[in-house]
Amino acid sequence: MKSYKVPNMREILKPRWSHKPGFGMSEPFVLHERESFQQSTAPNDKALLRKLSMKKGEKILSIASYYASWASEIAKLGIEVDYSDISKSMTRWAKREYGQLFGKYVASGYELIPKKEKEYDWTFTFEACGGGSGLPIACLRSLLNKKGAVLVYHVRARKNKKMMGNKPKTYPLTAKVLSKVYGASYKIKKVKIKSHKFEEPDKMIAHVVVIIKTNEKARRLALKDVNALIFNKFDLDTLKRLNAFSEAVKDFYIKKLKV
């Protein structure tokens, strides 16, 4: 018998925390009060869509949307955006705050959406946590989209590097693993985006943009593998792919299956 590593969805989907309006989240999942109801940067850049490799008229699923500083600006520039967040209270807050700006408001873990092929052009997130647990699953699901996923984080100064958590490592790693295992392509670029931090004025701030692009083969294999993870039924080819994909997932969230 041979042993294969696969993501342990039971462990990954366990509820660990739920943030709420007026609070921020720092790794490892510690709530702290915040005065400003916005994300760590809020964009105000007419060239934002080009810098994110998006086009007006596309449809995106925003995951871990939080205060939606980024999702709302993307929507205002002509993208159809569905808001999602694991927190029901944040989702209710966003619906009151943004109303019809977003098409849908979905309270869900990002590991479970999107559910259908080609429902969206892109999955988008700004600084989502869970890079070694659920976020790789969300990125695997993004291969179901027409185009793929766009992940963004802003670059901190040396004294504040710890605030980036493990994103500089896990975001690129996930993109590379999806490329190797599923045949997706990826691009990682650093761009300056006009934005502001809380009450500070707008200025050009460096951000890293990780773009994962899908294709027909990647879409077909990803659909098969996410279904296998949800229903806990695996054939040998799926086990081989998920064993390789598990490089992007922390050992704590891995289980071993013997076949």
In total, how many domains does the chain have? 1
Tell me the pLDDT tens digit for each residue of 180-230: 999 999 999 999 999 998 878 999 999 999 999 999 999 999 999 999 999
Residue carrying structure tokens 């993307």: 74
Check which CATH number belongs to the domain holding 162 and give it.
3.40.50.150
Its domain, for residue 9, covers: 3-258
Report d(CA 47, CA 165) in Å as an integer: 27
Give the 3-state secondary structure of residue 87: coil
220's CB contacts (< 8 A; 6+ apart) are: none
**Of 210, 217, 181, 221, residue with least CA distance to 5:** 181
Report d(CA 146, CA 255) in Å as an integer: 31
Report d(CA 69, CA 73) in Å as an integer: 6
Tell me the pLDDT tens digit for each residue of 62-120: 999 999 999 999 999 999 999 999 999 999 999 999 999 999 999 999 999 999 999 99
Question: pTM for this structure?
Answer: 0.92
